[in-house]
């Protein structure tokens, strides 16, 4: 999916959580994480002890289009250093830990994040390195764990995917997104009178060709057609189209219709 | 994140939506889509006109661990052929279309999918090729569009990411996932009497060293400590730990305490 519109940059402001990548290895994965974040309007990234140093040209190349995330990145030597000013920190993890710690779904975690951020708290989410994930020494610094409810028989989210799902949940929680736009692109729905006239005209034509047979079923057949027509989300131009179709079909020789069945 | 447990394969059964990749190009992306699906327990994939034919060794290599998705894949020459037996089809798209069509968030769409599938309907979701997305000739065959609410200034979800988010939403809708596991790993919370005794012992020790000063503040200071102690989610072993800490601190020479502040 792509459909970037640089004219629509406003409206995605406001405080957001900080995402902290702990000891990431490949620059490409840092760049992919930046892209995943910026897809959902998150631009605050911190990095703890990146294996290949910083800045990292491969991260910048991969982040193409989401460079603003890397422009403002803060790099620390230690996890504690990256968390210093934060009020509440989540740690993403898949493995069970022996540590006593509350575990939330991304959904619940981002609900909490929204509540805390709306009160001016600074919230962070830690993500571990590509293979190893977070170490216990990182985990103990978090308030709460986030565990994505993946298939217990196949849990293989990579760094950028884990970032993506968390960022998506953040945006889902705070976003003012209309969940359903019914019939986008429609100029207007037909007025009921237009639907009624189309239906009546159709019934006339069907009567002319002896469609309503046997006679005792006429009532229910008409009712079904009327119900169907009123149920369809027809536009004004659909009405014109259907008038044309019915006319074209009906004005064949009636014998054609009967023979053609 | 990783944490696969092949012993936990049960419980993820039941009917699921079919994901249809339309004219995908690189085999790696087909494999990545299979992985994204299987992370959330989806294993029904169909492919329309894969550019590099089928089977595709690069897809298989990339799908490693999610091979069962590709084992059962159905390949069609046309989109219509892939949709034949489906009752309801979604099409994922980012770009606005001129076509009149209802647009849903992934969340709303998977709510509908759940409702339809629970009534025995067969539901599909179409995903377009890596760059171009779906063509209008594909879109017109869908009942409803799905649009992920990405940053309007940066919309760059790739095929596997779009599949991932949709699969995640499916699982979120149907999953019986506990949103929050409070203090996972805890053996048991301390009994109230244990907390009370710890607090009383602490107060005694603080009294001995003259902590509650000035005297008129004693009441509120004690109240604050009692409130804090009862608010903390302490385990039985935390209680033992804290008794040890308080004892160790208190049994220093009281002068040390006063001088050390």
pLDDT of residue B187: 78
pLDDT of residue A79: 95
pLDDT reading at B145 higher than 50: yes
Cβ contacts of B1 on chain A, cutoff 8 Å? 92-94, 128, 133, 148, 150, 155-157, 162
Strand A180-184 relative to strand B101-104, pairing: antiparallel
* Mean pLDDT in residue range A139-156: 90
Least confident among A75-79, A95-99, A151-155, A159-163: A95-99
Nearest CA-CA distance, residue B248 and chain A, Å: 24
* Mean pLDDT in residue range B12-29: 91
Least confident among A45-49, B59-63, B136-140: B136-140
Q: Which residue of chain A is at minimal alpha-carbon distance from B5?
A: A153
| pLDDT class of B256 with cuts at 50, 70, 90 | low
Q: Hey, are the CB atoms on A155 and B1 less than 8 Å from each other?
A: yes
Do A186 and A237 form a contact (C-beta atoms < 8 A)? no
pLDDT of residue A255: 56
pLDDT of residue A12: 56
Query: What is the value of ipTM here, to two decimals?
Result: 0.82
Domains of chain A by residue range: 18-172, 192-254
* Mean pLDDT in residue range B111-124: 92
| pLDDT class of B253 with cuts at 50, 70, 90 | low
Average pLDDT, chain B: 87
Nearest to B185 among A101, A133, A171 (CB): A101
pLDDT reading at A256 higher than 60: no
Cβ contacts of A179 on chain B, cutoff 8 Å? 104-105, 107-108
Exposed, middle or buried: residue A223 (CB in 10 Å: 0-12, 13-18, 19+)?
A: exposed
Q: Which residue of chain A is at minimal alpha-carbon distance from B182?
A: A102
CATH class for the region spanning B18-172: alpha beta
Q: Which of B34, B48, B244, B8 is nearest to B129 (CA)?
A: B48
Least confident among A170-179, A180-189, B131-140, B165-174: A180-189
pLDDT of residue B250: 79
Rounded Cα gap, residues A228 and A236, in angstroms? 17
Rounded Cα gap, residues A232 and A18, in angstroms? 47
* Mean pLDDT in residue range A100-105: 88
**What percentage of chain B exceeds 70 in pLDDT?**
90
Q: Hey, are the CB atoms on A6 and B40 less than 8 Å from each other?
A: no
Residue B33: CB atoms within 10 Å? 30
pLDDT of residue A40: 95
Nearest to B107 among A36, A101, A172 (CB): A172
Query: Tokens 């993403």, residue?
Result: A92
pLDDT of residue B79: 95
pLDDT of residue A261: 43
Q: Hey, are the CB atoms on A145 and B103 less than 8 Å from each other?
A: no
Nearest CA-CA distance, residue B76 and chain A, Å: 22
Do B151 and A3 form a contact (C-beta atoms < 8 A)? no
Nearest CA-CA distance, residue A183 and chain B, Å: 4
pLDDT of residue B13: 65
Q: Hey, are the CB atoms on B156 and A2 less than 8 Å from each other?
A: yes
Nearest to B40 among A103, A145, A150 (CB): A150
**Gap between the terminal Cα atoms of chain B:** 45
pLDDT reading at A171 higher than 90: yes
Strand A101-104 relative to strand B180-184, pairing: antiparallel
Cβ contacts of A5 on chain B, cutoff 8 Å? 152-153, 155
Do A16 and A42 form a contact (C-beta atoms < 8 A)? yes
Spatial CB neighbours of A213, under 8 Å, sequence gap ≥ 6: none
Spatial CB neighbours of B231, under 8 Å, sequence gap ≥ 6: none
Cβ contacts of A92 on chain B, cutoff 8 Å? 1
Average pLDDT, chain A: 87
Rounded Cα gap, residues A141 and B90, in angstroms? 43
Q: Model confidence over B1-15: pLDDT tens digits? A: 444 444 444 445 679
Q: How far is CA A82 from CA A22, A41, A65, A118, in A?
A: 9, 21, 25, 22
Task: Count Cβ–Cβ pairs < 8 Å, chain A vs chain B.
Answer: 204
pLDDT reading at A97 higher than 80: no
Q: Hey, are the CB atoms on A164 and B164 less than 8 Å from each other?
A: yes
Q: Model confidence over B186-244: pLDDT tens digits? A: 778 888 899 999 999 999 988 888 889 899 999 989 998 988 888 888 888 899 999 98
Q: What is the pTM of this model?
A: 0.84
């Amino acid at each position: 999916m792509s459909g970037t519109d640089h004219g629509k940059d406003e409206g995605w402001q406001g405080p957001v959580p900080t995402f902290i990548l702990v000891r990431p290895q490949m620059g490409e994965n840092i760049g992919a994480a930046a892209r995943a974040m910026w897809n959902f309007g998150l631009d605050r990234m911190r990095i703890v002890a990146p294996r290949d140093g910083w800045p990292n040209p491969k991260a910048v190349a991969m982040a193409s289009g989401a460079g603003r995330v890397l422009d403002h990145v803060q790099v620390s030597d230690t996890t504690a250093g990256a968390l210093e000013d934060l009020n509440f920190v989540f740690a993403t993890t898949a493995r069970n830990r022996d540590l006593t710690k509350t575990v939330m779904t991304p959904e619940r975690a981002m609900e909490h994040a929204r509540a805390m951020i709306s009160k001016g708290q600074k919230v962070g989410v830690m993500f571990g390195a590509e293979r190893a994930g977070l170490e216990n020494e990182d985990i103990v610094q978090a308030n709460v764990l986030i565990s994505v409810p993946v298939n217990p028989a196949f849990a293989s989210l990579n760094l950028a995917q884990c970032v993506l799902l968390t960022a998506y949940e953040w945006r889902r929680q705070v976003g003012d997104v209309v969940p359903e736009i019914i019939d986008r692109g429609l100029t207007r729905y037909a007025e009921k009178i237009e639907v009624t006239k189309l239906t009546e005209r159709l019934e006339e034509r069907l009567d002319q060709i002896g469609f309503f047979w046997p006679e005792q079923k006429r009532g229910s057949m008409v009712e079904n057609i009327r119900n169907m027509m009123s149920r369809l989300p027809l536009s004004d131009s659909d009405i014109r189209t259907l008038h044309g179709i019915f006319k074209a079909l009906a004005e064949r020789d009636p014998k054609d219709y009967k023979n053609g069945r």
